[in-house]
Structure 1
Amino acid sequence: MVIDVMIAEPGELTQQDLASAEALVRAAFGDSFRTHDWLHGVDGVHVLITEDDALLAHASVVTRTLRYDGEAFATGYVESVAVRSDQQGRGLGRVVMDHTESIIRAQHQLGALNAVESAAPFYAARGWMLWTGHTQADTPDGAVIDTYHPDDRIFVLSMANGAQRFSASLPLICDWRVGDLW
C-alpha cells in the first residue's frame, strides 16, 4: 500500500473531492460539525492523504488576518483536520500536519487553529502554543468584540522568520467570518 499526499490550491479540487473530504470530516466530528464549519476551509489549501485512492486524512489552511499589539499577521488558519477513524494510530495526523505546517511556513507569517479538547496535546507536542490570553474579533462595522468561549483551545504557531513573541497580556484579534469566529 502506498500513501499519497495531495496538496490542492483553492479551486483545484473537484466537487467529488470536496464531498469526500467533507464526509470524512463530518464523520470525525459528528453532529457538532455544522455547514459553516466546513465552509470555513473550502477556499483554503487542502492537504489530502490517500491510500489506494481512498481518502484517509484531510486538513485545510485558509488565509486569515490575526492582529496582536497593533500589528496584523497574514495567518495560515488550520481547518477541518481529520483522520478516518479506522486509520488512526498510523501517524497520518502527523503526516497531514507536517504538510499543513509546511504550507503555513511557506505562505504565512503565523499559524493558528482552534483545537478540539482531545487534539490539544497533539498540537502542543508539535510546538503549537496554547493561547491563554484574551481573544477578540473585528466586526464588519469596525468594532471589536470579545470572543472568549470556555471550549476554545486557540493555538498559535509562531514562525522563526521574525514574528514577535506573543504575550497573553494583550488580546489576539481575528478577522470576521460567518459562524464560529475562531
Structure 2
Amino acid sequence: MTTTASPYTVRTAHTADLTPTELHAIRALLDESFDGDFSDEDFEHGLGGMHALVQDDAGRFVAHGAVIMRRVRHRERWLRAGYVEAVGVLPDVRRTGLGGRVMAELERVIDRAYDAGMLSASDEGAALYAARGWQVWGGRVCALGPEGVVRLAEEEGSTWVRAALTPSLDPAFELVFDWRDGDVL
C-alpha cells in the first residue's frame, strides 16, 4: 500500500519485499534517529514483518517503523501480538507528523492481523504512543527463557498495549513474551 501527501510518500512492505539497498538505507535512518544507539540486535528484531516507510520527494527514507509477530502468553492463552519495532524519524523532520503516519500504517496492520498490539517505548517515544491511544501495561512483564519464565521488571512501565485490541487483557495477569537474542523486548 502506498499513499502520497506531498512531499512525503508512505508505503508498507514486508521485509521480503525490501531490497538490500533499502534495508541498508533503513538501517542508516535508524542509526541516525537513535544517535548511534541502535544495535545489530535491535535491527534484527525489526525484520520479518511489515514495515511502514516514509520517503521524501527526493526518495530519501525519513521515517520507519515495523510490526512483527511475537507470541505472548496471557491468562494461559498464547496471543499473536503485533509488536512494534524500530520506529524512527530523522532529526531534521521530527515533529512534522511523520511518526504518526508510520504508526497509523502499523496500527492498521495490527488491527487486521493480530490479537493484540504491543511495544516497548523509550521516554522520547512515549508521547507519540500515548497520543495515539496506546496505554502503559500496568502488570508484570516476563519472558519465557531457556531456564523458564523470567520476570523483566525493567520493562514494566515501558511496555505499552494497543487499547483498542486489549479489553480482555487484565494487568492482574502477567504478559509472558517469547524469548529472543539481545534485549528480549
2:77 to 57, 68, 71: 71
Asked if the contact 1:109–1:159 (Cα under 8 Å) also holds between the matched residues in 2, the reply is: no
CA distance in 1, matches of 2:13, 2:155: 33
5+ residue gaps in structure 2?
Answer: 1-5
How has the CA–CA distance of structure 1 residues 152 and 179 changed in structure 2, closer, same or farther, with 3 Å as cutoff? farther
Which residue number in structure 2 is paired with residue 118 of structure 1?
Answer: 124
TM-score if structure 1 supplies the norm length? 0.92
CA distance in 1, matches of 2:155, 2:134: 19
1:105 to 89, 93, 111: 111
TM-score if structure 2 supplies the norm length? 0.90
How has the CA–CA distance of structure 1 residues 98 and 89 changed in structure 2, closer, same or farther, with 3 Å as cutoff? same
Which residue number in structure 2 is paired with residue 58 of structure 1?
Answer: 64
Q: May I ask how many residue pairs the two structures share in their alignment? A: 179
1:5 to 10, 13, 26: 10
Residue 73 of structure 1 and its aligned partner are, at CA, apart by: 0.9
1:19 aligns with 2:24: yes
CA distance in 2, matches of 1:5, 1:39: 22
Residue 83 of structure 1 and its aligned partner are, at CA, apart by: 0.8
CA distance in 1, matches of 2:92, 2:71: 35
3-state SS in 1 of match to 2:138 = coil
1:29 to 18, 22, 34: 34
Identity across the alignment (%):
32
Which residue number in structure 1 is paired with residue 175 of structure 2?
Answer: 172
3-state SS in 2 of match to 1:32 = coil
5+ residue gaps in structure 1?
Answer: none
1:45 aligns with 2:50: yes
Residue 122 of structure 1 and its aligned partner are, at CA, apart by: 1.6
Residue 152 of structure 1 and its aligned partner are, at CA, apart by: 5.7
1:82 to 73, 83, 88: 88
Residue 30 of structure 1 and its aligned partner are, at CA, apart by: 2.4
Asked if the contact 2:139–2:156 (Cα under 8 Å) also holds between the matched residues in 1, the reply is: no
